[in-house]
Structure 1
Amino acid sequence: MEVSPIIKSQYTGIKERPLLDDPHAYIQNLDPLTKHDYSYILKKIEQGWITERDLEILKFIFVHRWLTLSQISRIFFPDVEREATARNRVKKLIKHGLVRRIQWTSYFNPQENRPSCYELGSSGADILKYKFGFFLGSRDPRAKKETTMLYRMRYIATNEFYIKLQQGLELIHFEFHPSLSLEDEKQVPTARYILKTPKGKDLNFYFICHRDDDNWLKTVRYQAAFYKQYFKLEEPGSVLVMMLSTFQKAEIVHKILEQEGMANHAWFVTDEDLYNNQMHISQSFFIFHEGRRVYYDLR
């Protein structure tokens, strides 16, 4: 949809979308890649201008792809120094090219402020490649393909989920994009994670974060059929966790899973509950029973 630039009204004709599930989002400003020589960056590391914590942030961003400042601060900075220190430190990481900032907006209400996200920068890629021996592939920012904001939002939402799990429950394993095979079929969920229960039992989960991209409902039906057979034949006792932005979308997905005979093996979590500071992550998972949400308490 193209909205005439001469219209000054706040109404754009585009329905409001959840913050991290907005197909109308687009990049407003992307920091240019720096061109520091690797020897210059290496000297900054040796002199302590680039710290061990900076390098840990770099490794984390490589795996988790896109993070907000809030997410970086909660993982790497203590409460007493969190907000201001994290902001100042990230500015230095941008200056040295370890990370770069993405500022974005939406065709719906473009005047609204939205949190920037951060990805790997060119100097950061050099450090990972030459100092730590990482294979970068398509994650090298100098060789990247075009990526939509909606795709990035899937990672940002998943990372928020990871942080809440890591800080609120006993998370013993988390990996992105495990490859699952069943005869000639393959599925790659968003993530796999394992939680330790209070009784010492390991709970295995496959996690899928859906956003409002093309044909996502058709994808859900295919996923339901695959995981029904996969859990039956390969990993009985595993649980499929579907993350949707709203309760209404979760309800639609539940009906599809019900039709495919998969509803008894699926839990749900929504952006609405995940970003509700009054709700602990252990109480954010729910199922449907007789059309109503029923929440688990994992503590």
Structure 2
Amino acid sequence: MEFHVSPLIKPEQNSGVKEKPFFDDPYAYITKMDPLTRHDFYYIQKKIEQGWITERDIEIVKFIFVHRWLTLSQITRLFFPDTEREQTARNRVRKMMKHGLIRKLQWTSYSSPRENRPSYYELGASGADILKYRFGMVLGHRDPRMPKPTTMLFRMKYIVTNELYIHLRENFNMVHFEFHPILTMKEEQQIPTAKYVLRNPKGKEMTFYLVVHREDEKWLKTLRYQAQFYKTYLGTVEKGAILVILVSTGEKAELANKVMEQEGASGYVWYVTDEELYNKEVKLTQGFFVFQDGQKTYYDLQ
């Protein structure tokens, strides 16, 4: 939808668009993207040697390369200590942008133009050069100088997945998290959004496959096809693993559950929504749920 609305229509005048879920908004669009800096790697290497670019900066670059897009709040919670963390993180991120390690995307939406939106941070040109020349990494289309075309909904998938990642780290013993593993069963393949493994206090590990859906026209049709695969895969190939479906609202979780029930796959599925992830009063140990007789039943994983 972001490329379907006429650009001469001002967002605040577009009263025909209903408000959409915050990170599931097909009317979201970029308002400003910072330009890529043009520092030579020799210049960046000197900044590293002189301490202007720190090891923590490089760790953030590595993380953003894998996790694609983060908000300032997510960077803060992952990489900065509690003492004066917000201002310290803000200042550090500003310096990283100055050196071209990361860059900022600003956005809004036709559905709620007056609402403040958190900027997204992605890999910058100098950050890409550090990964390429310092660590020998192959960047492909993740090099910001030759990216694939990307929608806001695709970016939002990573934002909410990273929010889940942070909650998992805070609340569980998470021993593995991997984006887009390839699952193969005979001649069929599925590539879920992520795979993660949690270990309980007794040392037992539980495997979860995460599927994140945003508001695109085919998400229910896609989910129906996925349901057929996961029903067989989790019932035969990897018994005991759980499929977690992350959608924006409880209403969408109900729709997803109807599809899974129709396909006979509901016994392998847990749900979590943006509402649980972004509600500060909800702890993720009590945020996963299933449907029983049409009603949400939350797990207590403590």
TM-score by length of 2: 0.96
* Distance across 1 between alignment mates of 2:105 and 2:99: 16
Matched, 1:89 2:92: yes
1:4 positional shift: 8.6
Partner of 1:118: 121
Partner of 1:109: 112
Partner of 1:48: 51
Partner of 1:204: 207
Matched, 1:177 2:177: no
Matched, 1:164 2:167: yes
Q: What is the aligned length?
A: 299
* Alignment counterpart, residue 30 of structure 1, candidates 27, 33, 36: 33
* Distance across 1 between alignment mates of 2:53 and 2:63: 15
Conserved 8 A contact 2:100-2:125: yes
Question: CA 1:185–1:43 in structure 2 vs 1: closer, same or farther (change >3 Å)?
Answer: same
Q: Which runs of 5+ in 1 are unaligned?
A: none
Matched, 1:76 2:94: no
1:6 positional shift: 7.2
* Distance across 2 between alignment mates of 1:224 and 1:126: 40
Partner of 1:277: 280
Question: CA 1:221–1:93 in structure 2 vs 1: closer, same or farther (change >3 Å)?
Answer: same
1:81 positional shift: 2.2
Matched, 1:288 2:291: yes
* Distance across 2 between alignment mates of 1:235 and 1:115: 38
* Distance across 1 between alignment mates of 2:183 and 2:189: 6
Partner of 1:251: 254
Conserved 8 A contact 1:45-1:51: yes
Partner SS, residue 67 of structure 1: coil
Matched, 1:232 2:244: no
Question: CA 1:57–1:7 in structure 2 vs 1: closer, same or farther (change >3 Å)?
Answer: closer
Partner of 2:66: 63
Moved more, 197-206 or 39-48: 197-206
Conserved 8 A contact 1:197-1:298: no
1:214 positional shift: 2.7
* Distance across 1 between alignment mates of 2:13 and 2:285: 39
* Distance across 1 between alignment mates of 2:146 and 2:8: 34
Matched, 1:12 2:3: no
Partner of 1:139: 142
* Distance across 1 between alignment mates of 2:266 and 2:240: 14
1:109 positional shift: 2.6
Question: CA 1:285–1:149 in structure 2 vs 1: closer, same or farther (change >3 Å)?
Answer: same
Partner SS, residue 145 of structure 2: helix
Partner of 2:158: 155
State percent identity of aligned pairs: 60
Partner SS, residue 202 of structure 2: coil
TM-score by length of 1: 0.97
- Cα deviations across residues 115-168 of structure 1 (Å, max 9, x unaligned)? 001000000000000001111011000011211111000000000000000111
Aligned residues: CA RMSD: 1.4
One-letter identity of the residue aligned with 2:26:
P
